[in-house]
Copies of this chain bind each other. A is one copy, B any other.
Amino acid sequence: MTAVYASDPEPESRSSRKRRVILEAATAVFLDNGYVGTSMDEIATVASVSKQTVYKHFEDKETLFSELITSIVAEASDPVQAVVQELPESGDIESDLRDLARRQLALVMTPEIMRLRRLVIGEAGRFPELSRTFYELGPQRTIEALSGVFAQLNDRGALRIDDPSLAAEHFNWLIMSTPLNRAMFLPEEAPSAAELQQSADAGVAAFLSAYGY
């Protein structure tokens, strides 16, 4: 791995490395102690930097938590977007939707994202801007991308969709809802990779029965 970093044309600067270290420390502290139970002091301690350094990178606790949400959600959402964007060229819609669904569940249903999702939902009443950030970068972004792609697939005659946005909602929740809701309420029973795959495949099958030819 050293070789890869060494050959990187833009090696990570001291400042961006510190920023990354602070974000990693903040993730651990927020997920353990909740939003209200977390202080910038403790994040500085866990990151082994001064409190001043934390504030140099992040204006306040809300900004830090918001950037943390952005970074964690984007890390799962970016690869999903990439797979969605390949769909219009699909030669085998069933196989490609199943591939998308499986990859989406594998990327999103991680212990870290599930803990963050529970934390953000729990604080949505007091900090609605934070939960909005999660919602817009996560489910809403995926559903909007799917919607655009479903419209194209309808035009091409590959799917039969009157309302692409509704169909995108149905696709997303048909594959995700069962494991996601269990993860929200039963955090100790993480679904196995096989269960996730089953949920993805069954959701795609129901979706194609409703929206396929």
The listed residue (B121, B128, B206) touching A122 by CB distance below 8 A is: B121
A184 at the interface (CB under 8 A from B): yes
| List of B residues within 8 angstroms of A122 by Cβ | 34, 118-119, 121-123
Number of copies: 2
Interface stretch, picked from A11-19, A91-99, A171-179, is: A171-179
CB-contact partner of A128 in B166, B188, B207, under 8 A: B188
Please tell me if A82 contacts chain B, counting CB pairs below 8 Å: no
Q: Which of A120, A177, A202, A211 has the most CB of B within 10 A?
A: A177
Interface residue tally for chain A (C-beta within 8 Å)? 39
| Interface of A (DSSP majority class) | helix
Binds B, one of A56-64, A132-140, A151-159: A132-140
Chain B proximity of A33: nearest CB distance (Å):
10
Determine the residue in chain B with the shortest Cβ distance to A131.
B185
User: A125 an interface residue at 8 Å Cβ cutoff?
Assistant: yes
Interface residues of A (CB under 8 A from B): 34, 115, 118-125, 128, 131-132, 134-135, 139, 163, 166, 169-170, 172-174, 177-178, 181-182, 184-188, 202-203, 206-207, 209-211
Give 16 CB contacts A-B under 8 Å. A118-B122, A121-B184, A121-B185, A128-B187, A131-B184, A131-B185, A131-B186, A135-B182, A135-B185, A135-B186, A163-B202, A166-B202, A170-B203, A170-B206, A173-B178, A209-B210
